[in-house]
Amino acid sequence: MRTRLAAVAAVSLLIAGCTTSGGSEEPAQEAEGPATLTFWSVGADENAQAFQAAADLYKQSHPDTTIKVQAISWDDGHAKVLTAATSKSGPDIISGGMSWGIEFGELGGMLDLNDRDIADVKSKTRPEVMKAITSPDGSVYGVSMDNAFYLLYYRPDLLAKAGISGPPKTWDELFTALDKLKAAGIKTPMVENFGTFEWLPWFNWLKQAGGSLYADDCSKATIDSDQAVLATTNWARQYTKYGVPKAATDAGAGLAKGEYGMAIDGSWVVSGLDSGHPEIKGKWKVAPLPSGPAGAGTFVGGRIVGVMSYTKYPKAAVDFIKWLYSDDAIKKLQTEVFNKEGALYLSPRPELVDSLNTTDDVKAALKTTMETVTGPPNCKGWELSGADVTKKLQSVVNDGVDPKKALSEAATIMNNNLK
């Protein structure tokens, strides 16, 4: 994403009309009087409306603070926030991808929240999530706003007809299940969405094999380890032997029609299966992903929320972000997101899953999976490397490249971008 800096900076004036705070090169001092803050919320309009409802609730106990939530799309949200960060002019608060805080903070566009007493927020966030959004130097420019991860969706009746007693719990059980589903006449026994045929779902296999992208201290890439080779070999096998589609699919439709027996997909899918495909209600279940030789492991994504460095109201902005971790805020967001989007709001506080509007089976799968999540790397250069790593992984499937060779080439790219 950092490669877009020059291009976006050239058009920085295009969003000048959206600004609400000053444009000074240095962070402004706290302005006097009531605070009116603009919050750019990346995502759908309905999601922004849910956060506006939360902001309105916050105002009831903080009458001197007004927060106006504006939706920005994922398509151009990164470019808009990058322009705001470099021009020091734009919203007061932003949400965005998990790496956005580190990226924009390093450009001087966001406040280091460590200077604003966020110990309580850190303590309520899963350590692996906190690690992913913390800069290598320890700075925290954005805290977790919501989480999303992978789950295994399946049709118990189709598995039973194929002689499978339940969802696969290990890699061996997974491949056995795929064999049996194909033998039972299901041509596409499984689909894999959420970054289909890219590094994201492959990352699950990497963690389950005990591998990593980088050393813990970010000193070098470790993507070419024996564990990574094992992960890549098995990840590729689902495409080459079992016909898992390389393009994204409508998992709900395929499960409803009986075209798929299983689907690895995002956690948000649980909220739309019944409403989008009422004919499948009561006929599907969800489980954690199968474990590998090193145990369970699941990539976690989601959004961060942080404060822009030039805001006139840093104290009020940070206070609102801290409040988003409160019981009252999360309860409000769970209700509003579900009512406006039909979706589950997965807060950074895993213990609050029990208050979600969903079944006990779904809650159990969510809670179990939350114990195994790992976020994206926070190492320098990963944003530049991700797309090239995906190409190297794809070459194993598309061109028959030896996994060790492909991963060694990926490691070279990653190490070059570390410099």
> Which DSSP string corresponds to 35-69?
EEEEEEEES-HHHHHHHHHHHHHHHHH-TTEEEEE
Query: Coil, helix or strand for 224?
Result: coil
> Which neighbouring-strand residues pair with 209?
none
pLDDT (0 to 100) of residue 11: 29
Instruction: At 304, list the tokens.
Output: 């961060």
Say what the pLDDT of residue 7 is.
31
Q: Which value, to the nearest 10 degrees, does the dihedral of the CA atoms of residues 301, 302, 305, 308 take?
A: 60
143 compared with 384, residue with greater pLDDT = 143
Label each residue of 301-366 as H, E or C: EEEEEEEECCCCCHHHHHHHHHHCCCHHHHHHHHHHHHHHHCCCCCCCCHHHHHHCCCCHHHHHHH
Amino acid at 276: G
29 confidence band (pLDDT: 50, 70, 90)? low
> What's the rounded mean pLDDT across residues 82-106?
95
Q: What is the pLDDT of residues 163-194, one digit of tens each?
A: 999 999 999 999 999 999 999 999 999 999 99
Residue 226's alpha-carbon distances to 6, 223, 232, 233, in angstroms, are: 38, 9, 10, 11
Phi-psi map region of 261: left, alpha, beta (phi>0 left; psi -120 to 50 alpha) = alpha
C-alpha closest to that of 336 among 56, 83, 34: 56
Gap between the Cα atoms of 291 and 99, Å rounded = 27
What is the model's pLDDT at position 231? 98
DSSP assignment letter at 70 = E
Query: How far is CA 102 from its chain centroid?
Result: 15
3: pLDDT strictly greater than 70: no
In angstroms, the CA 205 to CA 230 distance is 9
Query: Model confidence over 355-373: pLDDT tens digits?
Result: 998 999 999 999 999 999 9
pLDDT higher for 1 or 372?
372
Q: Choose between 18 and 276: higher pLDDT.
A: 276
Q: Is the pLDDT of residue 22 over 80?
A: no
CA neighbor of 377 nearest in space, from 404, 417, 408: 417
Pick the more confident residue, 330 or 19: 330
Whether 206 has a pLDDT exceeding 50, the answer reads yes
pLDDT tens digit string along 304-336? 999 999 999 999 999 999 999 999 999 999 999
Residue 54 CB partners (closer than 8 Å, separation 6+) = 324, 329, 332, 333, 336
- 386-396: pLDDT as tens digits: 999 999 999 99
The pLDDT of residue 419: 85
Asked if 126 and 101 touch (Cβ cutoff 8 Å), the reply is: no
Question: Residue 354 contacts by C-beta under 8 Å, 6 or more apart in sequence?
Answer: 363
The confidence score (pLDDT) of residue 6 equals: 31
* Burial of 59 per CB tally in 10 Å (0-12, 13-18, 19+): middle
